[in-house]
Each structure stands twice: as structure tokens, then as C-alpha cells.
Structure 1
């Protein structure tokens, strides 16, 4: 009857993971109802959209790309950033310039790391959390965490089932019956994942459901910001970078500047 112990473990793993996912979904729904009223009518800035889409690093990337497009920061394809205009227009830009250092030149990778941890980014995150648009740092019971645990439980159940089939069993229990019993906790976990997907729960790390809805609105408006002076096209480009990240950059040289390098060099 050793396989029964493995079955109990499989059920315990699947039940705990699915219960955690359901509890997280309930708490998220309750918090979302409270945040819906406060977030209604909130127009996301590009920095806010960048944080909700990709976190602090995305904010640093957006800031550097924006400055590079204005010719106030040179981003070389070799992975170096050079300050052209040392006067930042806002706190984010001043954070990037400060991260580059007094020499006015630095590798992009450490600048991204330093700029993403500045007080300006932390203040931005705190404001979004208070507005109910961002997930608080270290929140233990989020839908994303629940989904990750349910996904991790699937191979656990499969491994326990395989072990039960491979180990000798003195009771003569048919292997087909064992498979049926282990299929039930597997079906439970797969059903939990399917329901979460159907309900539209996104495993984002940063945006709450209210924040995700605002991001969706921003994406829908992205192509409607045109203007006679071309400013709409620039904002649309930066919005794409904020929402999609570096992969949204169509300029190969600028995109190459953010490519990780193990041993960068200067030209």
C-alpha cells in the first residue's frame, strides 16, 4: 500500500496549491473592488506604465531611451552610456545621470541597476500601491504566486504517480486503477490553471488587476496620439517601450546598447 501514501502526498500538494490560488484570487478580487473607485479616472504617466509593465528596471530603461531620443544621452551599441546634457528634466532623469556618475560615462548595465533602486523609483512604486494599481512588494498571497505554485505542483503529481507505478506493490492493485487515482489530483491542478486563465488572471509581478486594466486602456489608446508636430509619434514610441520593453525599439543600434555583455569593451 505504499502507493497510497504517494497518492496522499499528491492530493495534499494539489489541494494546498489550489487552495492557495483560490484564497489569493478572493483577496485580489476584494482589493480590486476597493481600488476600482480610487483608480477610476487615473491617467497613467509613461513612468507609471513602465513600472506596472516591467518594474523598476523598465522605468530606468524608459528614462534612458527617452533621453537618448532627445540627444541628451548617448547610448552606444557597445553598451556604454555618455551624458550629453547633465541637466535632468525630472527626478528619474536626474537619477539616471547620478547613476552614470561624475565622469559622465558608464556601462549601461550598472546604470540600470543603480537607477532602478533610487528614491524616485521607490516613491513612484509607493504612489501606485496606494492607488491600488501596483502589488505591494513582498505581498505573499498574490494570484501570480498561487499560479506558480500550482504549475510547480503538476510535475510533482506526475512524479509521485510515476513512482507509484514503478515501485513494487504487494496488494495486486491494477496499474490502471492507480493511474485513475493519480489522474484526479492532476486534473484538479490543471483545472485550477484553466480557470485562472479563463478568468483573465495575469501572472504579472507588478500590476494589480486595476493596474492591468489601465495598462490595457493605454495600449488601446497608443495609436491615437498622433499630432501635426510629430509629438504623438514620439509618445507612441515611448509608450511601446514602457509597455513592451526594449524589444519594442526598432532601431538596431539603440536596442543593441541594452544587450547583455559578459566582457564589454570600449571602442
Structure 2
């Protein structure tokens, strides 16, 4: 009957996506023991707080505060193309030599570039985050698992409707539909919450640096990002911890995803791209 076909698809999608999610989670190698302590730099804290895109935003903030990048009317321009580190080199490469609008289209690419992945890999070695390449697979599997559960729930309701209309075994169909959705959810049992790939230790380290930033006690080291004396230290610490919106709103407006873009015309490629 029709409802059995619908239930089969519901079970297959929910359980298949759930199995993919579980496999992706198992590859993250989430640590269960405490690792060694190490002083973190500006880019390290930015990665813990907001992932690769926050690191890119922090590098752009450094360049803006030092006069090497300008923002006007949501247009970003690199004024000094000589980078100070590998992350800034990626920013210069993606933004390119001319004025750029719609930087939000480039920010996601920038957040996945090798220079920023290297920051994540270093933190993964300290057991503060999971490796960026594996976390991206995990994110895709997580989204697919959620979508599959929604689809299986809709198919289950449709199957119940068919069973009611044709005087079928409504309770049996309903039970299988519930099993399809709950079965997909069971694959998530025992998994840890990993915002932006940060482990429990990583979240604890971030909380410590956020407290130090609020008290004005944190001057970033040169390791993992710009150090003391490069730009406005207080602003950079706050950008790394909480983003651009409050401290550098003009840059935030330039890089954020707009609610609607009326023009279908995009920018040309950057200088080499990423």
C-alpha cells in the first residue's frame, strides 16, 4: 500500500542520514581527557569563538585599525597589499587589488582557506577544537540529519493520512512513523555539543579569555596572531571574542550577509582567490 512506501522512504532517509551523522561525529576524535595548557593568541581565541570566519574578520579588523584596509559604504579596499602573516595574505588574495562589495560572498571562502585551517589544526593539536576539515563534514551531516528527520515526519503524517482515508492500520502506521523519526534521533545519543568545533576544553578556555578581555587583562601574544602594539588591542580582543558588530560596525556591515540583495551582479574574482 501507499503508506508502506512512504514509511519506507521515511525510515531510510532518517536512519541513513543519522548513520552518516554518527560516522562524521566519530571521525572528529573529540578528546575525553584534559590536554596541556598553552597561551593562546588573537587568532586562536577568534577561532574558538567564531570559527574560521571570525579569524578572517579579526585579521581584517587588524588591517583596518592599522590603516592598511578601508571600509566605506560597505566597500572594502586593501590599501597596503603587504601582509604581516599568512592569514592577512589570504585576506589580500581574496579581496584583491580593487574595491570590493559583497564581502560576505568571499568571507565563507576565506574562512576555509589553508592559512585559517592551520589555526584550527594547531588548536586541534591542543585538543581545544576538532580539525576544521572534519568539522565541515560533520556540519553537513548534522544539517542532513535534521532535514531527514523533518522529511520523515512529514512523510509519516502523509502515510497516516492515507491509512485513515483507506481504513488501513492507522496505529501501526503511526507507530512506524514515530519509530522512523525517533530512530534518526537516536543516532545523536551521547554526542557532545560542538559550537564552531570547540570541545568542552576549548569552550572553557574561551570563557577564561572572555573574562580576561572584560577585565582588560588580555594582551594577545604574537603566537597565533597579531600581538601587543598592533592596532587597538582592546578592540581587537573584543572582536576576537564577540565579533565586529559592536566595535567595528562599518566593517560588520560590509561583511555580513544582507537580508536581500537587489542587484544580481557580483564582484569579479580576487587576486588569485582561495
TM-score (norm: length of structure 1): 0.68
Contact 2:64–2:70 (Cα < 8 Å) also in 1: yes
Deviation at 1:155, TM superposition (A): 1.8
**Corresponding residue for 1:185?**
180
Contact 1:80–1:257 (Cα < 8 Å) also in 2: yes
Contact 2:74–2:251 (Cα < 8 Å) also in 1: no
Contact 2:3–2:163 (Cα < 8 Å) also in 1: no
CA distance in 2, matches of 1:147, 1:133: 20
**Structure 2: stretches of 5+ with no match in the other structure:** 219-228, 268-274
Deviation per residue, 1:60-91 (Å, 9 max, x gap): 221121232234433223413242x6665444
CA distance in 1, matches of 2:195, 2:52: 17
CA distance in 2, matches of 1:256, 1:2: 51
1:38-77 matched pairs, under 5 angstroms: 40-77=36-73
Deviation per residue, 1:79-113 (Å, 9 max, x gap): 13242x66654444455456666x6x532638857
Deviation per residue, 1:95-148 (Å, 9 max, x gap): 5456666x6x53263885786576643543443344343433442896544432
**Corresponding residue for 1:202?**
194
CA distance in 1, matches of 2:203, 2:255: 26
Counterparts in 2 of 1:192 and 1:97: CA distance versus 1, 3 Å: closer
**SS of the counterpart of 1:9?**
helix
1:153 lines up with 2:145 in the alignment: no
**SS of the counterpart of 2:77?**
strand
Query: Whose Rg is larger?
Result: 1
Counterparts in 2 of 1:142 and 1:56: CA distance versus 1, 3 Å: closer
Deviation at 1:207, TM superposition (A): 3.6
**Corresponding residue for 1:33?**
32
CA distance in 1, matches of 2:110, 2:162: 55
**Corresponding residue for 2:157?**
162
**Structure 1: stretches of 5+ with no match in the other structure:** none
1:125-136 matched pairs, under 5 angstroms: 125-136=120-131
After alignment, is 12-21 or 151-160 more displaced?
12-21
CA distance in 2, matches of 1:98, 1:171: 63
Counterparts in 2 of 1:216 and 1:146: CA distance versus 1, 3 Å: farther
CA distance in 2, matches of 1:25, 1:111: 28
Deviation at 1:235, TM superposition (A): 3.7
TM-score (norm: length of structure 2): 0.66
RMSD: 4.2
**SS of the counterpart of 1:32?**
coil
CA distance in 2, matches of 1:2, 1:190: 25
**Corresponding residue for 2:238?**
240
CA distance in 2, matches of 1:224, 1:130: 29
**SS of the counterpart of 1:14?**
helix
CA distance in 2, matches of 1:50, 1:153: 32
Deviation per residue, 1:22-77 (Å, 9 max, x gap): 4555554x54136x32xx31232111222344444432221121232234433223
Deviation at 1:157, TM superposition (A): 1.3
Give the helix-richer structure, 1 or 2. 1
Total equivalences in the alignment: 249
